[in-house]
Amino acid sequence: MHSIATDAEFAASAEPYRRELHVHSYRMLGSFEEAEDAVQETFLRAWRSRDTFDGSSAFRAWLYRIATNVCLDAIRRSNRRPRSRSIESLGEVPWLQPYPDRLLDEIAPRESEPDAVAVARETIELAFLAAVQLLPPRQRAVLILRDVVEWSAKETASLLDMSVPAVNSALQRARATMAANRPHGRVGKPPPAPTPEELALVARSIDAHQRADVAAMAAMLRDDVRIAMPPLPFWFNGKETFVPGLEAGLKDPGEWRLVAIGANRSPALATYLRPWGETEFRAFKIDVMRVEEGLVAEITTFDASLFLAFGLPPTL
C-alpha cells in the first residue's frame, strides 16, 4: 500500500478496520461510548498524518499505533483508576459498559490480514475488562497488544517506543496483576461462546423474572454471587444480601418483558418494564451474566443507554 492522497482512498483503506479498532479501544478504556470517541479521534489523526504513511509498514499496524496512543492520551487525561488495587466487584469500575456480540461478530480474520484475531470470550469478558483497568497505561497497552492482539515483543516495543526488555518486564507485571484478579468463582477456561446449558439458564431466568418468581430466580444463583450496577458505587456480595429485596423490586414497578441477547461473549438479558396503568414496555436495563458450574456467579446490570447499539427497540 502506498501513500493515501484522497478522502476516498483513505476511507476505503481505513474503514475495514473500524470495528477491530473500536474493540481495541474498548479493551483499553472499558467504555463502549468512549471507544466510539477514540475511534473517531484515531481516524482524524490518521487522516491528518496520512502523508507520513509511505507504505513501508502495514497499514493495520499504523492504525493500531495511532489508536493505542489516542487511548493512552485519554487514560492519562481522565487519571481514573478503580477504587482499590484489586477488583472485588465490577461496581468498582463505574465507567464499565457492555459490548454487543452482534458487533463483535463483525470482526473476522481477512485474507489480506491473516494475523487478525477473532474476538475470544476470555479477552472481552467484563471481568477481564475490569481487571485491565487496574493496570498503568503502558502496562495495559503492552498486555493487550501482546496477549490479545498477539503482536511480538519487537512489534509492541516499536509501536510504544519502548525497548524489548521494557516490554517484557511490563508484560510480566501486567500478567501478575491479571492473575491476581481472576474472575470471581472462575473454574477453568471459559467456553468460547455461551453453552447450551448457559442459554437454558437464560431461558429459565426470563421465565422466572416475568412471573416474579423469586424462589426460582434465587435457585439459579451461587451462594457467593456478586451483583454490580455500574456506574452506581455499590454492589451485593452473596445471595443472602441480594434475594430479600428481590420480591418488592420485581412486583412493585409493573410488568416485565425480557429478551435474551449476547454481550461480551456472555449470556445477557435486555429487560423492558411496563409500569402499572401504562400500555408500552420501555427499555429498562441490560444484565450480563457469568455462569460457573451451572449457577450464576456474577450479574452486572447496566442502564438502557446502549439498547440501540444492541439492535434493540426502545419500546415493545
Nearest to 202 by CA among 294, 267, 114, 299: 267
Report percent pLDDT > 70 for the chain.
Answer: 93
Tell me if 34 is assigned to some domain: yes
Q: Which residue intervals of the chain are DSSP H helices?
A: 7-14, 18-29, 32-48, 59-78, 101-104, 126-132, 137-143, 153-160, 164-179, 196-210, 214-218, 239-242, 246-251
- Number of domains into which the chain is organized: 2
With cut-offs at 50, 70 and 90, classify the pLDDT of residue 222.
very high
Residue 3: pLDDT over 70: no
Contact present, 31 and 95 (Cβ < 8 Å): yes
Domain with residue 207: its CATH number is 3.10.450.50
* Final residue belonging to a domain, choices 145, 179, 213: 179
Place of cell 446502549: 306
Tell me if 116 is assigned to some domain: yes
Place of cell 495511532: 66
Average of pLDDT values for 279-293?
A: 96
Contacts (Cβ under 8 Å, ≥6 apart) of 261: 100, 101, 268, 269, 270, 286, 310, 312
- If asked whether residues 47 and 154 sit together in one domain, one would say yes
- If asked whether residues 40 and 118 sit together in one domain, one would say yes
- If asked whether residues 230 and 283 sit together in one domain, one would say yes
* Final residue belonging to a domain, choices 179, 206, 230: 179
CA 255 to chain centre: 29
Average of pLDDT values for 201-219?
A: 94
Averaged pLDDT score across all residues of the chain: 90
If one counts every other C-beta atom within 10 angstroms of the C-beta of residue 7, the result is: 10
pLDDT attached to residue 179: 92
Length reported for the chain: 316
- If asked whether residues 206 and 113 sit together in one domain, one would say no
C-alpha cell at 118: 477473532
Strands 295-302 and 235-237: unpaired
Contact present, 274 and 280 (Cβ < 8 Å): yes
pLDDT attached to residue 245: 83
pLDDT tens track for 37-90:
999 999 999 988 877 776 656 888 899 999 999 999 999 999 888 877 778 888
Average of pLDDT values for 154-160?
A: 94
When mean pLDDT is compared over 10-14, 67-71, 90-94, the highest value belongs to 67-71
With cut-offs at 50, 70 and 90, classify the pLDDT of residue 200.
very high
Average of pLDDT values for 15-34?
A: 96
- If asked whether residues 45 and 161 sit together in one domain, one would say yes
- Report the range of poorest mean pLDDT among 103-117, 124-138, 204-218: 103-117
| pTM to 2 decimal places | 0.92
Tell me if 80 is assigned to some domain: yes
Choice between 205 and 87, residue whose per-residue pLDDT is larger: 205
With cut-offs at 50, 70 and 90, classify the pLDDT of residue 5.
low
- If asked whether residues 101 and 142 sit together in one domain, one would say yes
Average of pLDDT values for 14-42?
A: 96
pLDDT attached to residue 54: 64
pLDDT attached to residue 1: 44
- If asked whether residues 161 and 209 sit together in one domain, one would say no
- If asked whether residues 172 and 248 sit together in one domain, one would say no
With cut-offs at 50, 70 and 90, classify the pLDDT of residue 250.
confident
How many whole angstroms separate alpha carbon 147 and alpha carbon 113? 18
Domain of residue 238: give its range: 196-302
Tell me if 185 is assigned to some domain: no
- If asked whether residues 92 and 145 sit together in one domain, one would say yes
Residue 228: pLDDT over 90: yes
- Per-residue CA distances from 97 to 184, 285, 287, 301, 302 (Å): 18, 12, 11, 9, 7
- If asked whether residues 25 and 146 sit together in one domain, one would say yes
The H-or-E segment that residue 182 falls in is none
Domain with residue 103: its CATH number is 1.20.140.160
- If asked whether residues 163 and 22 sit together in one domain, one would say yes
Contact present, 290 and 268 (Cβ < 8 Å): no
pLDDT attached to residue 257: 96
Choice between 114 and 259, residue whose per-residue pLDDT is larger: 259
Q: Which residue intervals of 79-136 are DSSP H helices?
A: 101-104, 126-132
